[in-house]
Chain A
Amino acid sequence: MAGVDIRGVRKAYGNVAVIHGVDVHIEDGEFVVLVGPSGCGKSTLLRMIAGLEEIADGTIAIGDTVVNHLPPKARDVAMVFQNYALYPHMTVFDNMAFSLMLKGASKSEMQERVNRAAEILNLQPYLLRYPRQLSGGQRQRVAMGRAIVRNPKVFLFDEPLSNLDAKLRVQMRTEIKALHQRLRVTTVYVTHDQIEAMTMADRIVVMHDGRVEQVGTPLELYDRPANTFVAGFIGSPAMNFLDAKMHRNGAGPVAILPGGQHLPLTTGASAGEGAPIRIGIRPEHFDLAPADVGVPAEVQVVEPTGAETFVQVDIAGISATAVFIERHAFTPGERIALVPKPGAVHVFDPASGARL
């Protein structure tokens, strides 16, 4: 087993730079998720670790070995692809044993290792079937089995759950995490789904336009997003943003909303008096308030999910979302007042988007 060290990695296709210098250190045994919108370079970065893309600049090391110029097979990594990439003309057993066969393993060793992997993944009944005879979830498991059999230093997952239906996706998510807790192999997992990232990762790398926006544990990203991009990307429904002005009074910094309401702040001290700021409030951090204290809002759409209720509101012409666990009987058009929970207001620089 080994960690993965990515230093100053760049990549361009022709004149178009897609990765602008990425530095990430992944510890041995860690589960790291690369997350970001499509086209952010996360898959390219993963493929560079795998050796399927050349590295234009910088270095990638697995363990102590710089692998920039090693072919994929010499890097001792295993990869699970979005479309599984199972060999259609081989049985499940042969799919899983293929890499062992190439290494010249004996028949009994292949049997033993494939059977062990099949046992972990509950695939024993399907070893003699062909991929086309399996369901999506089973194919996914075979793809993982193929990776496990190799006993690699690093597992790479490229959006492995995107082709599954919603229910199966949740189930496989748990299975992959359980598998990692059992095997403790360093894992790099690419997804565009922030829920997957939040639920599975030890640490998340948020990428955007070929740059790393922030690296941290799921709760760090949720509690202290480094900029408006991370703040808006992590969390569902997404964070609400309102433009405001900084003001200091005796009690501490406050944000003055366009409507004149004051919101007490616990962060953002570095912004100067009167400076424009952008405040972010997560939908689940709104509380109902008396009309004279809260920010006035007009209810537009109410979406009950059972466990909680999403309420789309209009705050001074800006559309925002609030989530309540309580079952308030709102009607569209109703005027309510909202107040953020104490300490739950994030403050950003409207120009750079950075956290203040």
Chain B
Amino acid sequence: MSAAIPDGRPVAADGPIKVWMIQAFLIFNSILMLYPIVIVVLSGFKSTAEIYSTPFSLPASFEPKNLVTIWEQTRFPRYLLNSLIVTVSSVTTILVVGTLAAYALARYRFRGNELIYLFFLSGLMVPLKLAIIPLFIQLTSLGLIDTQLGLILVYTAMGLPSAIFILTGFLRTLPFELEESARIDGASEGRIMWSIMLPLARPAMVIAGIHNAVPIWNDFFFPLVMVQTDRLKTLPQGLTIFMGEYNTEWGVLFAGLTLAALPITIVYMALSRQFISGLTHGAVK
């Protein structure tokens, strides 16, 4: 029975039955997680009628009719580009500003350090969506409504607290001797940060990045409120034209959903190893 356990993993005191139960639970859990995604992908190949008649079966054909519809009836490449612009700009700004702030908070002692840190953290407790009306008024007076810059600024403000929280916590764990050693070696403060500390903080930056990229990419609320011009719409927002008041083209919508989720899924998979090593850093030294 123990042959089912992957090689090299210590089983220790756990008997094979316990290991099997854990495995079974994990498999059950992944089915639970993956099943809706599979349904979404499969439904993307069905017609709306087919979805109503046989919602759980395999599609009759795998012809990409729905994808063609999306391509012909929406400005899909434009939406994709907009989503990319908004997500990449926001995440980049969050990481640059967040890392600088977190570095100062984590590695230097100065008056008000704790207070500034708490100020950033308080942002975690404010649901920005509740402040949508004052936010809307403010952005209107700044002329940022119906612009991508407006979206990027809102996302940056929204993402900074968690990024600073993650990065400060991580940077504090890096040994001070490394910094002192570099200082004796003749490195300037900037050089210490750039050449020594930031390369070591990469796992935390990946976490902060993904943690923000996924919700920003998928966000529907802020574009809905702030962007009216079709040319500026993001992917989730743009695809809603298939969701009509009287009828909804479910097949097309599912196909669009699959397409929209694809890029961020790929990014996540590419970085997942770093993501996990970042999450478990400190737990396993």
Do these two chains interact?
A: yes
**B-binding segment of A74-82, A196-204, A261-269, A348-356:** A74-82
Minimal Cβ-Cβ distance residue in A for B196: A87
**A-binding segment of B61-69, B106-114, B180-188:** B180-188
A81-B180 in contact given A87-B196, A89-B200, A102-B191 (Cβ < 8 Å): yes
What is the interface of chain B mostly: helix, strand, loop, or mixed? helix
Q: Mark B169-201, 1 if CB is under 8 A from A, else 0.
A: 000000101101111111100010001100110
Minimal Cβ-Cβ distance residue in B for A102: B186
Cα distance A83–B176 in the bound complex, in angstroms: 11
User: What are 6 pairs between A and B in contact, CB < 8 Å?
Assistant: A78-B184, A79-B180, A83-B175, A102-B186, A102-B191, A150-B185
- Are B183 and A52 interface neighbours, CB within 8 A? yes
What chain B residues lie within 8 Å of A51 (beta carbons)?
183-184
- Are B181 and A85 interface neighbours, CB within 8 A? yes
**B contact residues, total (Cβ < 8 Å):** 16
Number of A-B residue pairs at CB separation under 8 A: 53
User: Does A146 touch B at the CB level, under 8 Å?
Assistant: yes
Q: Mark B45-77, 1 if CB is under 8 A from A, else 0.
A: 000000000000000000000000000000000
What chain B residues lie within 8 Å of A103 (beta carbons)?
186
User: Does A232 touch B at the CB level, under 8 Å?
Assistant: no
- Are B180 and A52 interface neighbours, CB within 8 A? yes
User: Does A306 touch B at the CB level, under 8 Å?
Assistant: no
What is the interface of chain A mostly: helix, strand, loop, or mixed? loop
- Are B185 and A89 interface neighbours, CB within 8 A? no
Count chain B CB atoms within 10 A of each CB in A85, A89, A102 and give the residue with the most. A85
A72-B191 in contact given A83-B177, A89-B199 (Cβ < 8 Å): no
What chain A residues lie within 8 Å of B200 (beta carbons)?
88-89
| A contact residues vs B (CB 8 Å cutoff) | 50-52, 71-73, 77-79, 81-83, 85, 87-89, 98-99, 102-103, 146, 150
A50-B175 in contact given A87-B196, A89-B199, A102-B191 (Cβ < 8 Å): no
What chain B residues lie within 8 Å of A98 (beta carbons)?
182, 185, 187, 195
- Are A81 and B181 interface neighbours, CB within 8 A? yes
Residues B201-233 near A (CB distance < 8 A)? none
A81-B186 in contact given A89-B200, A102-B191 (Cβ < 8 Å): no
Min CB distance A294 to B, Å, is 53
- Are A50 and B184 interface neighbours, CB within 8 A? yes
What chain A residues lie within 8 Å of B187 (beta carbons)?
73, 98, 102
Min CB distance A79 to B, Å, is 5
Partner of B184, one of A77, A82, A83, A89: A77
Cα distance A192–B184 in the bound complex, in angstroms: 23
